[in-house]
Amino acid sequence: MPELPEVETVCRRLRPFVSGKTITAVDVLDAKIIRGHEPDIWTQQLLGETIQDVERRGKFILFKLTNGYLVSHLRMEGKFYPHGETVSPVKHTHVVFTFSDGSTLHYNDVRKFGTMELKTNEALYVTPPLSLLALEPFDPNVTAEALHERMKRMNVRAIKTALLDQSIFVGLGNIYVDETLFRAGIHPTRPAATLSLEEVEAVRQEAVAVLTEAIERGGSTIRSYTNPDGAAGTFQETLYVYGQTGEPCRNCGRPIEKMKLGGRGTHYCPHCQT
DNA sequence: AGCACTGTTTACAT
DNA sequence: TATGTAAACAGTGC
């Protein structure tokens, strides 16, 4: 489900809902979601904590607590649903937070890939997973020069695979990486080390543009993603290649093709991307 | 019915 | 070390 634009959309919706609220109960219905602590220990540490703010780092959601952070990753299908009152859990509800004002926050996840973990302030950025991330894509220190140097040292790695690696570039997933490479005119199988500085800059610029536009449109709803209000995003309406197999390329009119690369479905125009 | 596919990450093998 | 593959899980579509 979520790449950076979807996670940002979720954070923007959750921030006004949970900020300032104190946790009075936590129900763990499936312990698989909880990482780092035993579920009862994890629950005990959360009771009485007040959520100060909701932040985002890459595709991670950070609930800033009175003491430390609750770090959550939605992986493929995780969803947070805010409710004004107590609501019965449904089939794939795995964690329920109750606040002192009676409102609740449900975590639902059909595939149970998502995670939640408590971190101290000291450990947050210097331990995995956040310690493994590259800078935020909008950080001015993310330059074509730095990316180019990094890619030149790669042996055979395809540019698409490199861009999906969150330790190299943050925020792209399978939808937005295909869109980025189409817009930049770069073939997904090109070895990353063969890109010129100018091509790397084109990729960087298009990645930022795609992510920015997708945030403005509330993300992409392809299969199951919705925001915490249950609403769909609209960026899927503007996709050029992802899910457009067989459709005419908007530049040259020839059919968009799909191949398998690094285990991921990969959409591209064989004529416009070189 | 059975298999391939799905927006992510990481553990493990090579 | 770097890269590729399988696995975590459930649902959907062919």
Residue A261's DSSP bridge partners are: A264
Output the pLDDT for position A108.
Answer: 96
Nearest protein residue to B9's C1' (by CA)? A75
> Does the annotation count A59 as an active-site position?
yes
Rounded average pLDDT over A227-253: 90
Quick one: tokens of A38?
């035993």
Output the pLDDT for position A111.
Answer: 95
The C-alpha angle A96, A59, A230, rounded to 5 degrees, equals: 50
- Which nucleotides of strand C lie under 7 Å from a protein CB? 2-11
Give pLDDT tens digits for A11-60.
Answer: 999 999 999 999 999 999 999 999 999 999 999 999 999 999 999 999 99
> Does the annotation count A49 as an active-site position?
no
CA distance A48 to A112: 27
> Does the annotation count A3 as an active-site position?
yes
Rounded average pLDDT over A183-206: 96
pLDDT confidence band for A227 (50 / 70 / 90): confident
Q: Amino acid letter at A263?
A: G
pLDDT confidence band for A1 (50 / 70 / 90): low
Average pLDDT of every residue of chain A: 95
Strand C contact set, beta carbon < 7 A = A 32, 75, 91-92, 110-113, 153-158, 161, 262-263
Quick one: which H or E segment has residue A80?
strand A78-83
Output the pLDDT for position A231.
Answer: 83
Rounded average pLDDT over A89-115: 97
Residues 6 or more apart in contact with residue A110 via CB below 8 angstroms: A77, A92, A224
Q: Which domains does chain A possess?
A: 4-132 (3.20.190.10), 144-268 (1.10.8.50)
**Residue A203: pLDDT above 90?**
yes
User: Is the Cβ atom of A166 within 7 Å of strand B at any atom?
Assistant: yes
> Distance of alpha carbon A147 from its chain centroid, rounded?
20
Is the pTM higher than 0.85? yes
Quick one: which H or E segment has residue A46?
helix A39-46
- Out of A56, A59, A119, A183, the active site residue is A59
Give pLDDT tens digits for A112-156.
Answer: 999 999 999 999 999 999 999 999 999 999 999 999 999 999 989
Residue A77 CA, nucleotide B6 C1', distance (Å)? 10
Q: Which candidate, A208, A202, A173, A213, places its Cα nearest to that of A2?
A: A173
Q: Amino acid letter at A107?
A: Y
> Does the annotation count A260 as an active-site position?
no
Q: What percent of chain A has pLDDT over 90?
A: 90
